[in-house]
Amino acid sequence: MTLIAIEAASRPHSRSFMRRFAGAPLPWIMPVIIVIGIFYLYPVIDVFRLSFTNATLIGDNQDYTLASIANMLSSPQLPDILWATFVFVGGSVIGQQILGLAVAVVVVRGEKRGLFGTTILRTTALIAWVVPGIAGGIIWQMLFSEAPYGALNSILRLMHLPTVAWLSDPAIAPWSALISNIWRGTAFSMVVMYAALKAIDSSLYEAAEVDGATGSQQFFFITIPQLRAAILVNMILITIMTLNTFDAIITLTGGGPGRATEVISLYVFNIVFRNYDLSGGSVLSVLMLIISLGLAVVYASFLPKEDER
């Protein structure tokens, strides 16, 4: 049989195969389901399973028990950890959102007027975003350093002002960690807000100018309502990212002084890799997942519905 004859003989079968599955979505989405199941769902399911065990990093035997859940949730350190996490995440979300929007507005208005430096401003903000978390923590550790070469305290000395214990005072260290995280995450918010600002119909502003609306009135009655969906989506993303941040904190303060800056993600790291308590870390990971999902649901409930757009 020639090659042409073989192709002619096989063509009806291939056509019938394609026709058979043309209207069935399952064969087409099965590869995606397999990839998500292996790389996303399995680790989550295994974390749930480990939270019901007494597994450790140095032991092979595992028994299923509720003792790990009870021990971790009744830990006397957990309320302080959750409060430090609340301050860190809440302050980061507010700071990154406001600064990101402010930088985006400045860049967009600068571009409309053809001002020099808008590209430099946008690029400078993005540099902080591409810096790895560990590198960012080291940079801010040097800036906040209370040694004679510490940059911020050196500026205060030049201005004849008292120096600040940026990293050794338990009352100030959380704010130092917060500042460093806002610096790093503002660029992401700026990118989201910049794209959303570009999508606003310019005829809205033209109509507002005809009606005599001031710049602040245009901002609060046109810009903010038009950015509502972008703001909420951005808040969901930066909340989840900040809740999972531990690399910048571990290099900046190590969670100290004491436990003043030990957020829940760093607490999980310490429980698993310093206490070797795999089940305890799994319980805390499930708690982080519940907090993230809860906050995401709350934010999503404020998203504009289809008929409101």
15-58 pLDDT, tens digit per residue, is 665 666 666 777 778 888 888 888 888 888 989 999 998 888 88
Is residue 45 situated within a structural domain?
Answer: no
The answer to whether 189 touches 241, Cβ cutoff 8 Å, is no
Written as one string, the DSSP assignment of 18-46 is: HHHHTT-SHHHHHHHHHHHIIIIIHHHHH
Is residue 285 situated within a structural domain?
Answer: no
Residue numbers of the domain that contains 209 = 78-259
Is residue 19 situated within a structural domain?
Answer: no
In this predicted structure, the answer to whether residue 245 has a pLDDT above a threshold of 70 is yes
The answer to whether 277 touches 201, Cβ cutoff 8 Å, is no
* Domains of the chain: total: 1
The answer to whether 232 touches 299, Cβ cutoff 8 Å, is yes
Neighbouring C-beta atoms of residue 267, cutoff 10 Å? 26
Is residue 59 situated within a structural domain?
Answer: no
**Would you report the helix, strand and coil content of the chain in percent, each value rounded to 5?**
75, 0, 25
pLDDT tens digits for range 273-291: 988 989 999 999 999 999 9
In this predicted structure, the answer to whether residue 6 has a pLDDT above a threshold of 50 is yes
Is residue 65 situated within a structural domain?
Answer: no
Is residue 24 situated within a structural domain?
Answer: no
In this predicted structure, the answer to whether residue 305 has a pLDDT above a threshold of 80 is no
CATH no. for residue 218?
1.10.3720.10
Is residue 111 situated within a structural domain?
Answer: yes
Query: How confident is residue 117, by pLDDT bands cut at 50, 70 and 90?
Result: confident
Neighbouring C-beta atoms of residue 65, cutoff 10 Å? 13
Which CA distances in Å does 174 have to 46, 87, 89, 169, 268? Answer: 33, 8, 11, 9, 18
Give me the helix-helix angle, 173-198 and 133-144, nearest 10°. 130
Up-side HSE of residue 106: CA atoms within 13 Å toward CB?
15
pLDDT tens digits for range 213-222: 888 888 888 8
Percent of the chain residues topping a pLDDT of 70: 91
Mean pLDDT in the chain?
Answer: 85
Backbone angles phi, psi at 53, to 5 degrees: -125, 180
Residue 3: predicted pLDDT:
47
Query: How confident is residue 95, by pLDDT bands cut at 50, 70 and 90?
Result: very high
Is residue 44 situated within a structural domain?
Answer: no
